[in-house]
Structure 1
Amino acid sequence: MQTAKNSLVDTSYVPALDGFRGVAIMVVVISHYGLGHLIPGGFGVTLFFFISGYLITRLLIAEYQKEQRIDLGRFYLRRVLRLYPALIFMVVLATGFTVFMGCGFQPGAVLSTLFYYRNYYMLYGGSTALFNCSHIFDITWSLAIEEHFYLFFPLLFMGLFPRPKLLAFVMAGSIVSVLLWRLYLVATEGLTELTIFRIYHLTDTRLDAIMFGCLTSMILHLDRAGTYLRRVSHPAVFTGAVGLLFFTFLYRDGVFRETWRYSLQALALSGILPAVLYAKPYARFKEILSRSSLVTIGKLSYSLYLFHWIGVSVAENLVGGERLTVPWLLTAVPLGLVLSLISYQYVEKPTAGLRKRFGSTVETIQTNDETGSKPSRQTAIS
C-alpha cells in the first residue's frame, strides 16, 4: 500500500483522478440531458468539489515542502490561466446567443459570470423577467464556489500549515459549521423553494464538500504510518462508505436531502477515494478509472461542463423544453460536444505552455499526429 508520505510530497500524476473527474462530468451531463430523475447530477458536482479540494491541498503541501513557502502570485496566475480562456470563450458564445434571441446584452449576467459571483447573483441580483435569457450563464454557479475557495484557501493554508494539526482542526470545524448552517436555514425558513435553491447553489452552504477533500489530503499527509489508509481500505469500512453513498441517493426525506446529504456524500468519498487510489485490494477499481476513455473524458471535463450547457440552452430555446426527444438531443449533444472540443483544442491547450512557466505540471492530451504514437496519458493536476 502506498503511504501518505509518498502520495503527497510530489505532484506525480494519478490517472484515476481524471477517471473520477470523467465519472463526475458524465453524471452531470446525463442528468442535464433529461435523466435527472434517475441520475444524481448534483452528486457529480459534489464529486467535483471534493476532487478540487483534495488536489489543491495536495499541490500546496508539495510546494510548501519543496520551497518552504507558497508563491501566491504564481498560484493565482495559474488559476486565471486555467479557468479564464474557456470561460471567456463561453461568455462570448452565450452573449451572442442572448443577443440572437432578442434579449440584448446583459451586463449583470456577464459580470457575475466573469467575476465568479454567479451563484449569488442568480438568487439576489437577477431579474426573473430575463430568466430565460440569462439561464445560459447559470452553469457557472459551481465554478463560483470553487473560485471562492481558491481565493481564500491558500491564505489559510499558508498561515496554518506550519501547525498542520491546527489546520486540519480548522478544516473539520468549517465542515461542521457549514452543516450546522444548513440545518439552521431549514429549521428557521422551512423547505421553501427559495431555501432549497439557496442551499444548493451558494458557497456558504456547499463549501463543506471541498473542505472534506482538503481534510482528506491533510490526513493522508499527517498519517505517516498509513493507519488511515488501512482503516478505509478495510472491506467493512469500504463497503460501509459505498453503502452510505447509495443511502444518500435513495433516502428522499426533504430535510435530510437539504442538510445531511451533502455532508454524508463527502464523508463517504473521504473513504472511497483514498482506498481506490492507494490501496491494493481496490486496484481493479483504480484500473477501470485509469482507462484511456475515462481519463480523456476527465481531461475534457471543464470544457464539457461549460459547453454542454450551451447545447442544452440552445436546444431549450430553439427546439423546446422537453428533453430526451430526438430533435432536442440532436441539437444539444452535438453542439455541446463540438464546442467542448474546439475550446479544449484551440482555447485551453494554447495556454498550457504559459501555465508551465508559472509552475504548473500540466501536460495536455496529445494526438497521434503530434506524437507519432498513442495519445499521452499525462494531464494537469493543477
Structure 2
Amino acid sequence: MHASAAAAVRPTRAPVPAPVAGFRPDIQGLRAVAVGVVLLYHANFPFMPGGFVGVDVFFVISGYLITGLLLREALRTGRVRLMDFYARRIRRILPAATVVLVATLLLTVLILPRIRWQQIGIEAGGAALYIVNWIFAGTTDYLNADLAASPIRHFWTLSVEEQFYIVWPLLLVALLALLRRRGGRHAPASAVSRSQLSVAAGAGALLILVPSLLWSIRYTADAPAPAYFVTTTRLWELAIGAALAVFAHFVERIPDWFGRLLGWAGLAGIVAASLWYDSTAPAFPGAAALLPTLSTAAVIAGGMGGRAGRGVGRLLSLGPMRWIGDISYSLYLWHWPLVVFGTYLLGGELRARWGLAIVLLSVLPAWLSYRYIEIPFRDWNRVKRSVAASLRAGGLLVAATVAAAATVGVAPKATAPVVELGDRKLGAEALTDDFSDDSIASFSDAGRPVDVVADGFLPAAIDAREDYSVVYRNGCSLRHEHTEPNGCVFGDEESDDTVMLVGDSHTINWIPTMIELAEEHDWRLVTHTKAACSFADVPQARDGVAYEECDSWNRALIDEIDTLDPDLIITAGATTRAVMDSGEVAQDEHRVRLLAEGLGERWEQMDEAGIPVLVIKDTPMMASDAPECASAYPDRLTVCATPRGEALDERVFPELEAAADADVELIDMNNWVCPDPHSCAVVIGNVFVWRDSHHLTATYAETLAEPLEAKLRGTEAGAEILFDGRREISRGRACR
C-alpha cells in the first residue's frame, strides 16, 4: 500500500526489543510538568518567569514518541508508511485544534474589537494550515511590539511540530532507500537490516540536530524575535527526542543508579529553567534552550530500562500527574485563548490571581475536549477504516477552519463605511488659521474629545495601524538587529540645503511632516532612524539588557554624518528610553539624568563639528492603544481620550534638560497634538491622530506641516538655514 511513499526494512523473526516500546506513565507526568509551567507562566505567576520552557519540553517528548512509533512500525511491518503516519496525525491532532480555532474565531467576533479581527483571521488560517509560526516570525517587529497578544499565538508550536513531521519521515525514508541501494543489486528488494535502520535513523537525527542547533544559536543572536518562532531554529529540539529514541537500546543499558540520578537531575533542570529564566536571560531558543531540552531528555532516559515507575518516575506516574498529562494537549489549546479574552475583559491587565483562575477554569473545556473530541475522533471507525477516509476528514476540517478564518478576517474592512470629507480643513489645519499662535486658547473645538465625530474621520480606526511613514515600507528605518545606517532621501536630491532627521521611532513621527516641507521648499531631506534607539552618546538598553546594536548604529551614524555634512540635524526621541550604567539598567531619576547627559553630549558633538541641531520635544503618551479603543467604542470616543496631565504635563522630558545644557534650540509641538486643556483626543479635525499609544498616524503628521514650519521659522537655526538661504558657517572639527 502506497509503495512509492514507503521505505521497507526486513521484518525481524525473533523477538527484538523495539525502540521505546511500551506505555511510559512517567512521560505522561512529564507532559503534566510541561503544560503546568506554561500555564503558570501565562497566568503571570510571579515565581515562574521562565515557564515558556514547557514548550521545549513538549518538543523533546514529541520527537521521542513519534520517532519511536516510526521505528517500531519499520521493525514490525518492514515499512515506514507515510500516508498512514499522516492519517494518524490527522486523527490525533486536527479535531481538537479545529474546535479550538473555530471557538476562538467566534469569541473574537463576540468580544474583541473589530480592528483585531483581520489579523486574527489571518493567523487562524495559518494555524489551520500549520504555517502560523512563520506568520508570527514575519510580523513580530517594532511596529506591533506593543499590541495585545493574539489568541492564536500558541498554535506556533503545533506548526513547528507538524513541519518537523513532514521533514523527518521523508528524510528517514530517503536514507533507508540510499542504504538499500548501497547494499548492492543482490540485496533483497525493499529490505534493510535492523542495524541499517539504526544507522540511517541516527544519521538522519544528527543531520537535523546539529545544523539546526548551530543556526539557532546564530540566528537567535542576530534576530531573537523571529528566531523564537521559525522552524529552523527549533528542529534540533525535536531531533534531540528523535535521537534518544534511535539510540534507546544503548541508553537502556546505563546502570540503575545513574538512570535515577539522570531522572531527578532532569526534572531539577526543567524546574530551574522555569524559575530562573526570564526576559533578561540569554536570547531564546539558542544555546539557552539546551538546559530544558537536555533536562527533558535526561528524564526520559532515566525512565528507560524498566525504571519508569522508580525514582523521579514514581512522582511523575502519580494518578493526578497522569490525568493532567492525558488532557495536556487540549489544556494547552484551550488555556491561552481564555487568557487572552480574559485579559481583554479585565481591562488589559492580568493579575496573577485572575490568571490562575482562568487557567484552572480552562481545565473544564480541556477535559470535555479530551473526552468527547480527541478520544472519539481518534477511535472513530468511519475515519479509521482507511487512510483516504482520514485524509478526507482532515481536508474538510482544514477547509472549514480556513473558510471561517477568511470570513472573520475580511468582515471588518468589507463592512467599513466610506468616509468622504470633501474640502473640509483636516487635522491641525482645523484648529486655527494662525499657525504662528499655538496657544490652546486660540484653538477651535476641533481638538476637543467627543463621543462621535461629525462626518466621520480618516483613517478609519481599523486602518490606523497601517497609516505609518513610508520609511517603514521602503526598509530604511532599521529594525533592532541592524547596525549599518541606511538612510532615505526625500525632497530635492540635488538641493544645496541638506536637512538630516535622525533618531528613534518618535523621530519618525515627524518624517511625513518634514517630507511635506522638503517638497515645498526644495530641501534635501535625509532620514536615519532605528527602532528604540535614541541619537545619544550613552549605552542604551532594550528588554532589560544592553542594546549593543543601538550603540553600534550610533557610532556608524557619526561616520555617515561626517560624509554627508548636513546643514542641519533635527532629532526627537522617546523620553522613556532605557540606558545602561556599569552593566546594569539605570532606574528612575538616575536613568533620566544619564539619558539627558547622553543626549546633550551628542548634540554638543554636532555643534563642535559646525552642524546645528534642532530638537523636537517628545509627543504625548496615550493611556491606551488608541485604534483598538476607538474600534471597541466607536460611539464613545471620549473613553479613549487621556487626561492631559497623564499624557503630557506630568511626564519627565530629559531632552529639556539636555537642550538647556547643550544650548540647542527646542521645538514644542505638543499643543498641536493635544490641543485641549483637559484631555488628549484620538481624533482632531476629522483625522485620527494615533496609530498606537505613542506614534502619530502619517495622515495627522502631514497636517502639522504649517505649524511646524512656523516653529522652524521661529528658531535661529531654522530661519537662517532653511528659509533665508544656505548658511555661511565654517566647519569645526570632524564629528568623531
Match of 1:273 among 282, 294, 300: 300
Q: Aligned in 2, Cα 1:167/1:96: closer, same or farther, shift over 3 Å? A: same
CA deviation string 1:163-206 (max 9, x = no partner): 3224313322322212211232255x3xxxxx222222221111
* 1:374 alignment partner in structure 2: none
- In the aligned structure 1, how far is the partner of 2:99 from the partner of 2:267? 38
What is the Cα deviation at residue 132 of structure 1? 5.6
* 2:328 alignment partner in structure 1: 301
Match of 1:204 among 192, 209, 232: 232
- In the aligned structure 2, how far is the partner of 1:343 from the partner of 1:41? 24
- Larger fraction in helix: 1
Contact 2:331 2:363 in 1 (8 A): yes
- In the aligned structure 2, how far is the partner of 1:323 from the partner of 1:149? 34
- In the aligned structure 1, how far is the partner of 2:283 from the partner of 2:256? 27
What is the Cα deviation at residue 337 of structure 1? 2.2
What is the Cα deviation at residue 92 of structure 1? 1.1
Match of 2:97 among 87, 92, 109: 87
Match of 1:316 among 328, 331, 343: 343
Letter aligned with residue 137 of structure 1: I
Letter aligned with residue 172 of structure 2: F
* 1:291 alignment partner in structure 2: 318
Q: Aligned in 2, Cα 1:269/1:117: closer, same or farther, shift over 3 Å? A: same
% identity of equivalent residues: 26
Contact 2:64 2:241 in 1 (8 A): yes
CA deviation string 1:319-362 (max 9, x = no partner): 133333545544x2354222212222222222121376569xxx
Residues 94-113 of structure 1 mapped to structure 2, 5 A cutoff: 94-100=104-110, 101-103=112-114, 104=117, 106-113=120-127
- In the aligned structure 2, how far is the partner of 1:153 from the partner of 1:39? 32
- In the aligned structure 2, how far is the partner of 1:347 from the partner of 1:280? 33
Consecutive unaligned residues of structure 1, counting only runs of 5 or more, are 190-194, 360-382
CA deviation string 1:278-312 (max 9, x = no partner): 35497132122111111111110111001011210
* 2:59 alignment partner in structure 1: 49
SS of the equivalent of 1:269 reads helix
Q: Aligned in 2, Cα 1:77/1:177: closer, same or farther, shift over 3 Å? A: same
Match of 2:153 among 138, 142, 158: 138
CA deviation string 1:8-36 (max 9, x = no partner): 274x2221211111111111111111126
Alignment partner of 1:119 is 2:133: yes
- In the aligned structure 2, how far is the partner of 1:248 from the partner of 1:93? 33
Residues 137-156 of structure 1 mapped to structure 2, 5 A cutoff: 137-156=152-171
Q: Aligned in 2, Cα 1:293/1:199: closer, same or farther, shift over 3 Å? A: same
Alignment partner of 1:74 is 2:84: yes
* 1:60 alignment partner in structure 2: 70
Q: Aligned in 2, Cα 1:267/1:150: closer, same or farther, shift over 3 Å? A: same
RMSD over aligned Cα, in angstroms? 3.2
* 1:177 alignment partner in structure 2: 211
CA deviation string 1:113-161 (max 9, x = no partner): 1011111111215896798677011110111111101112111222335
Q: Aligned in 2, Cα 1:29/1:239: closer, same or farther, shift over 3 Å? A: closer
Contact 1:242 1:272 in 2 (8 A): yes
* 1:364 alignment partner in structure 2: none
CA deviation string 1:237-283 (max 9, x = no partner): 66766676677564787547542121343233333311134354971
What is the Cα deviation at residue 232 of structure 1? 8.8
CA deviation string 1:99-123 (max 9, x = no partner): 1223246541221110111111112
What is the Cα deviation at residue 220 of structure 1? 1.1
**Higher alpha-carbon deviation: 90-99 or 235-244:** 235-244
Contact 1:323 1:329 in 2 (8 A): no
* 2:258 alignment partner in structure 1: 233
Contact 1:232 1:271 in 2 (8 A): no
* 1:365 alignment partner in structure 2: none
CA deviation string 1:53-74 (max 9, x = no partner): 1001111111111110012111
Q: Aligned in 2, Cα 1:97/1:248: closer, same or farther, shift over 3 Å? A: closer
Equivalent residue pairs, number: 345
* 2:247 alignment partner in structure 1: 219
Q: Aligned in 2, Cα 1:13/1:151: closer, same or farther, shift over 3 Å? A: same
Q: Aligned in 2, Cα 1:183/1:81: closer, same or farther, shift over 3 Å? A: same
Q: Aligned in 2, Cα 1:149/1:36: closer, same or farther, shift over 3 Å? A: farther
- In the aligned structure 1, how far is the partner of 2:353 from the partner of 2:296? 36
- In the aligned structure 2, how far is the partner of 1:55 from the partner of 1:136? 28
Consecutive unaligned residues of structure 2, counting only runs of 5 or more, are 1-15, 177-191, 388-736
Contact 1:233 1:281 in 2 (8 A): no
* 2:376 alignment partner in structure 1: 350
* 1:340 alignment partner in structure 2: 366
Q: Aligned in 2, Cα 1:132/1:88: closer, same or farther, shift over 3 Å? A: farther
SS of the equivalent of 1:278 reads coil
- In the aligned structure 2, how far is the partner of 1:239 from the partner of 1:23? 13
- In the aligned structure 1, how far is the partner of 2:369 from the partner of 2:71? 31
- In the aligned structure 1, how far is the partner of 2:264 from the partner of 2:124? 45
**Higher alpha-carbon deviation: 339-348 or 294-303:** 339-348
**Higher alpha-carbon deviation: 278-287 or 155-164:** 278-287
Contact 1:322 1:328 in 2 (8 A): no
Q: Aligned in 2, Cα 1:60/1:131: closer, same or farther, shift over 3 Å? A: farther
SS of the equivalent of 1:136 reads coil
TM-score (norm 1): 0.79
- In the aligned structure 2, how far is the partner of 1:134 from the partner of 1:239? 35
Match of 2:174 among 159, 168, 172: 159
- In the aligned structure 2, how far is the partner of 1:86 from the partner of 1:251? 31
